[in-house]
Structure 1
Amino acid sequence: MKTIQKMFEHLNWANQRILEIFQNVEIGEQQLSLFSHILYSEQVWLTRLKGMDSLQMPIWEDGDITVCAKLIKQNEENFKTFLTEIAKTDLDNLITYTNSSGKEFMTSIRDILTHVALHGQYHRGQINSRLRVDGIDPVNIDYITFVR
């Protein structure tokens, strides 16, 4: 559980660093779309982890910097609460959920939480690649930088 909590601390830190660069430079539509996708996906997965229906929730939704800042704050608070509440739960318990295509799956809490952390890092890497193409220095969001 300590590793998962640390991964989510990193996730929040990395999201905040991306937000800060977006607030200070002109960014393209693709970067903003990827970033809002990360944040909306975090909400969808948390909803699924809580056993609630996520079918009507957006995954790819246009957003702006203000919306992204709000989502970061909400997601950080909601995941902190969730991780605190499940601290004594067996992380290998299975969650049943329906994906955005309507297909039902069963996945462990551990695997879902790991996916959420890795999914965001994957897309933040895409954002950094696009920033570089646009002549903007990428944001250092490496885990090792976070723990230093």
Structure 2
Amino acid sequence: MSIHRAVKMYDYHVWANRRVFDHLKQQPEKIFNNQIQGVFPSISAVLVHMYMVEMAWLETMKGNLYEAISQKIKQKTVELNGQPLEVVEAAFKTLAEDFHRFLAGEEDLERVIEVEHPHYGRSKFALADIIQHLANHGTYHRGHISAMSHQQGEKGASTDYIFFVEE
């Protein structure tokens, strides 16, 4: 049985995040929470945002309602904001494990779910499309992290998909 492309995209997303964390560990500790001018105030803030979006979509795919997800996001934001790199990395690792458990239990990643949001209304999405969105969202923000690293005199991590495929 071949691996579903959506699972491969999620695996890429986890791989790329891990490369960013490994790279950040090699950089001066101060750049993680250092306040800079940009789309986000710090690299830490970018990662916390990425985490919240991924957690929200996982909870959505599990069938949880917006209100419960919103409460969980508020709680985790308080827990992760301002924390050191290792704490944020551990949260990502746990979330990836939860996500992989969900994917392993899903028989049909083309299954369409209906999502209700108080501001955006009702939408329908295939699970595979949500996973593709997460990979794209992660790529976009890993680019922010790379730019923010450069802005602070450091290099960014190489997380191009082709390197994942090659590895």
Q: Please tell me the TM-score bracket, short chain as reference.
A: 0.7 to 0.9
Deviates more, 1:52-61 or 1:76-85: 52-61
Q: Given the alignment, which residue of 5, 8, 14 partners 1:6?
A: 8
Amino acid at match of 1:56: Q
Amino acid at match of 1:114: Q
Aligned residues: 146
Q: Given the alignment, which residue of 16, 19, 22 partners 2:18?
A: 16
Deviation digits for residues 31-65 of structure 1 (CA, Å, limit 9, x no counterpart): 11001111121111100000012122327932421
TM-aligned CA distance change 1:66 to 1:18, over 3 Å: same
TM-aligned CA distance change 1:92 to 1:6, over 3 Å: closer
Output the CA distance in 1 between the equivalents of 2:117 and 2:154: 35
Q: Given the alignment, which residue of 142, 145, 148 partners 2:163?
A: 145
Please give the root-mean-square deviation of Cα atoms over the aligned residues, in Å: 2.2
Aligned equivalent of 1:58: 73
Deviation digits for residues 98-147 of structure 1 (CA, Å, limit 9, x no counterpart): 44747443222121111111111110011111111111111000111112
Aligned equivalent of 2:92: 72
TM-aligned CA distance change 1:49 to 1:16, over 3 Å: same
In structure 1, runs of 5+ residues without a counterpart are none
Q: Which structure: larger Rg?
A: 2
Output the CA distance in 2 between the equivalents of 1:16 and 1:99: 31
TM-score of the pair, normalised by structure 1: 0.86
Q: Given the alignment, which residue of 35, 48, 60 partners 1:48?
A: 60
CA contact (8 A) 2:110 2:126 kept: yes
1:92-131 alignment runs, 5 A limit:
92-99=110-117, 101=119, 103-131=121-149
In structure 2, runs of 5+ residues without a counterpart are 36-41
CA contact (8 A) 2:114 2:124 kept: yes
